[in-house]
Amino acid sequence: MPDLAQTLGTYDLGYLQIVAGLWGLDFSAKDFQLGLNRLLPLLLDESHLNEMVQALPMEAQAAIRDLLSNDGRLTWPIFTRRYGIVREMGSGRRDRDRPYQDPISTAEILFYRGLIGRAFFDTPDGAEEYAYIPDDLKTILPVNQVSSPQPLGRAAIPDERVHSYPVSDCILDDTCTMLAALRMGLPEEQVPLSDYPGNFPPSVRTLTSLLQAANLLDDAGKPIPEATRLFLEAARGQALLQLVTGWRQSKRLNELAQIPELILEGEWKNDPLRTRRAILELLTTIPIDTWWGLNPFISAIHEQNPDYQRPAGDYDSWIIRHAELDTYLRGFESWDQIDGQLLRFLITGYYHWLGILDLAAPGKQKQLTAFRFSRWSGALLRGEAPPGLPDENQKIIACSDGRLVLSRRVPRSVRYQMARFCEWGDLKRGDYIYQLTPGSLKRAEESGLVIDQLLVLLRKHAEQVPPNLVTALERFEQHGRQARIERVLVLRLSSPEILEALRASRAARFLGDPLGPTTVIVKPGAREKVLAALVEMGYLGEIISQE
């Protein structure tokens, strides 16, 4: 950044006289360069600087600390939103109106004392305008030892944490389910997921994003076989760490785009990785083992650090539409609906799903109002597998009717394989219910699985395998489906002669297999055509429905 000479060198002699006067320094010069050479040593004198800073209002000292805590600079939009504007005026108007005698903002107080400069700096996104402290001034400022950041918000009151929701490792079971569903190509509505508190349970979309961030899916969104095997065979603590690490480091996973009611439009881009790191920095100021108020925390960020995801303080170029209201959200006045909602989504969503934050509410089924760091958070944030997660050592319960019951403690690698042989039922009281059917076994065969693999899995991982189930599976392997029940439309006639006449008519193509001399199956969707053909032949018929 520029030093003090470069900063003051962009102004005029009148500005130098204003700075010297506000510092209480004896100063006179006939031209600008002579004045700059005389003034610089005085401004860089530590005793003079100490006196100046101590005489500043508290708000101005806070602004200096804020700049120092951000490496001596803040983008101009952010700085002026926090500390007010500097009125634009030429030297003539300045000397007439004397704004330095009655400054309208903290920013003007610092500007007319030469303590801050204003310039454009190069950034990865192009040139941006910044407020900054000159480099040589920054090193001798008496407030250059920035104190530890104070926690934002306040501790939760008892009413906000009546009912608690400790973290769980259910995300491991849901990612296992999701991997199997992606491998099988199941539609979203057939994927049973765990229950979570709050308004943001994991969805198929968020789980798929997590798996991509953990490098478990290929470019087509299908599980990578070897990576999937290692993930599912890993101890639960290690697998959870893999998900957390992938999420924290992902540049691709964009939580803002996953908030259900927000629709992102246009070509603009946000930086989810930078945002994630900024939020974690804000969270880590909160005391460990302390329940913290969710709404006060978000409100404090709104007041003190609203631009956590917008480094340039840009609230106008992001095109975001509210799905339910069908209105565009623009300007700082939409902060609660966008930036505040993202905080809520991350704290009650990802941070809870991934085992970092416990949540609490005034009562069961109430709106979430508090959070705290979980018993696993320290290890996960240090990049270590958390201890104490349960072992996966339970057995499959195989029923004689082909149902399979797998608890969360059946090895995930086993459930992943078993699920691919079965029709999926609901998740009941923590148990996954699957059903072996001819259709599910046929699909498994078409994807390259064989019945022998299923029998090996059952014999190794089930408490016991009913003999009749083994026999049925072996017969299916040899002969395929040997029985089926289906719903069909049956035509009953009063005599064999009518059936023979119908088969000789144009309606013959609508008839299926015969069931007897006077009964025949009607093909799907053809009942009205068959009845019409009978009328043409001189016979009236009717449809009888039996539910």
Q: Which of 466, 468, 516 is nearest to 495 (CA)?
A: 516
**Residue bearing tokens 């087509």:** 220
Q: Which residues pair with 427 in a beta bridge?
A: 432
**Do 460 and 509 share a domain, yes or no?**
no
Per-residue pLDDT, 480: 55
**Do 239 and 174 share a domain, yes or no?**
yes
Are 130 and 74 contacting, i.e. CB atoms less than 8 angstroms apart? yes
Question: Domain for residue 544, yes or no?
Answer: no
Residue 269 carries which side chain, given as an amino acid letter?
A: K
**Do 495 and 518 share a domain, yes or no?**
yes
Round to the nearest angstrom and report the end-to-end CA distance of the chain.
82
Contacts (Cβ under 8 Å, ≥6 apart) of 123: none
**Structural tokens at position 234:** 């890993």
Total count of residues recorded for the chain: 547
Helix (H, G, I), strand (E, B), or coil: what is residue 164? Answer: strand
Residue ending a domain, among 479, 498, 517, is: 479
**Residue bearing tokens 């705290």:** 372
CA dihedral 238, 244, 250, 256 (to 10 degrees): 150
Give the up-direction half-sphere exposure of residue 157: CA atoms within 13 A in the CB hemisphere. 4
Question: Domain for residue 353, yes or no?
Answer: yes
- Cα angle, residue 128 at apex, residues 123 and 130 outer, rounded to 5°: 110
Residue 129 carries which side chain, given as an amino acid letter?
A: E
Four-residue CA torsion sign, 218, 264, 260, 374:
positive
Give me the number of domains the chain comprises. Answer: 4
Are 280 and 373 contacting, i.e. CB atoms less than 8 angstroms apart? no
**Residue bearing tokens 């040593």:** 41
**Do 205 and 164 share a domain, yes or no?**
yes
Range of the structural domain that residue 230 is part of? 158-382
**Structural tokens at position 54:** 């101590």
Are 320 and 335 contacting, i.e. CB atoms less than 8 angstroms apart? no
Question: Domain for residue 542, yes or no?
Answer: no
The tens-digit pLDDT sequence of the chain (547 residues) is 899 999 999 999 999 999 999 999 988 888 999 999 999 999 999 888 888 888 888 888 888 988 988 889 998 988 888 888 899 999 999 999 999 998 989 999 999 999 999 999 988 777 889 999 999 998 888 754 444 567 899 999 999 999 999 999 999 999 999 999 999 999 998 999 999 999 999 999 999 999 999 999 999 999 999 999 999 999 999 999 999 999 999 999 999 999 999 999 999 999 999 999 989 989 988 988 899 999 999 999 998 889 899 877 888 899 999 999 999 999 999 999 999 999 999 999 999 999 999 999 999 889 999 999 999 999 999 899 999 999 999 999 999 989 999 999 999 999 999 999 999 998 998 899 999 998 899 999 999 999 999 999 999 999 999 999 998 898 887 765 544 556 778 888 888 888 888 888 888 888 888 888 889 888 888 888 888 888 778 777 667 765 4
**Do 54 and 200 share a domain, yes or no?**
no
Question: Domain for residue 150, yes or no?
Answer: no
Q: Give the separation between CA 295 and CA 371, rounded to whole angstroms.
A: 10
Taking the model in full, what pTM does it have? 0.70
Are 238 and 379 contacting, i.e. CB atoms less than 8 angstroms apart? no
Residue ending a domain, among 437, 460, 479, is: 479
Q: Give the separation between CA 56 and CA 116, rounded to whole angstroms.
A: 14
DSSP H or E stretch at residue 5: helix 4-8
Backbone angles phi, psi at 268, to 5 degrees: -65, 160
Helix (H, G, I), strand (E, B), or coil: what is residue 130? Answer: strand
**Do 262 and 404 share a domain, yes or no?**
no
Per-residue pLDDT, 146: 43
Question: Domain for residue 545, yes or no?
Answer: no
**Do 207 and 342 share a domain, yes or no?**
yes
**Do 495 and 475 share a domain, yes or no?**
no
Residue ending a domain, among 316, 351, 382, is: 382
Q: Give the separation between CA 376 and CA 154, rounded to whole angstroms.
A: 23
Q: Give the separation between CA 414 and CA 389, rounded to whole angstroms.
A: 18
Per-residue pLDDT tens for 120-169?
998 877 788 999 999 999 888 875 444 456 789 999 999 999 999 999 99
Per-residue pLDDT, 310: 87
**Residue bearing tokens 């399979």:** 404
Q: Give the separation between CA 236 and CA 215, rounded to whole angstroms.
A: 17
* Longest alpha-carbon distance in the chain: 127
65, burial (CB in 10 Å: exposed 0-12, middle 13-18, buried 19+): middle
Residue 224 gets which letter from DSSP? P
Question: Domain for residue 151, yes or no?
Answer: no
Four-residue CA torsion sign, 295, 301, 302, 303:
positive
Number of Cβ within a 10 Å radius of residue 492: 12
Cα dist. 185→178, 207, 218 in Å? 10, 15, 14
Q: Give the separation between CA 176 and CA 188, rounded to whole angstroms.
A: 15
Are 410 and 396 contacting, i.e. CB atoms less than 8 angstroms apart? yes
Question: Domain for residue 543, yes or no?
Answer: no
Q: Give the separation between CA 447 and CA 30, rounded to whole angstroms.
A: 89
Are 254 and 270 contacting, i.e. CB atoms less than 8 angstroms apart? yes
Per-residue pLDDT, 547: 47
**Do 323 and 471 share a domain, yes or no?**
no
Q: Which of 95, 391, 354, 145 is nearest to 249 (CA)?
A: 354
Average pLDDT, the chain: 90
Per-residue pLDDT, 479: 64
Q: Which residues pair with 322 in a beta bridge?
A: 262, 327
Q: Give the separation between CA 376 and CA 392, rounded to whole angstroms.
A: 19
**Do 274 and 184 share a domain, yes or no?**
yes
**Do 339 and 195 share a domain, yes or no?**
yes
CA dihedral 52, 57, 59, 65 (to 10 degrees): 20
Instruction: Give me the sheet containing 117-123, strands edge to edge.
Output: 73-75, 126-132, 117-123
Cα dist. 300→59, 84, 250, 310 in Å? 17, 19, 27, 17
Q: Give the separation between CA 406 and CA 436, rounded to whole angstroms.
A: 13
**Do 363 and 410 share a domain, yes or no?**
no
Question: Domain for residue 541, yes or no?
Answer: no
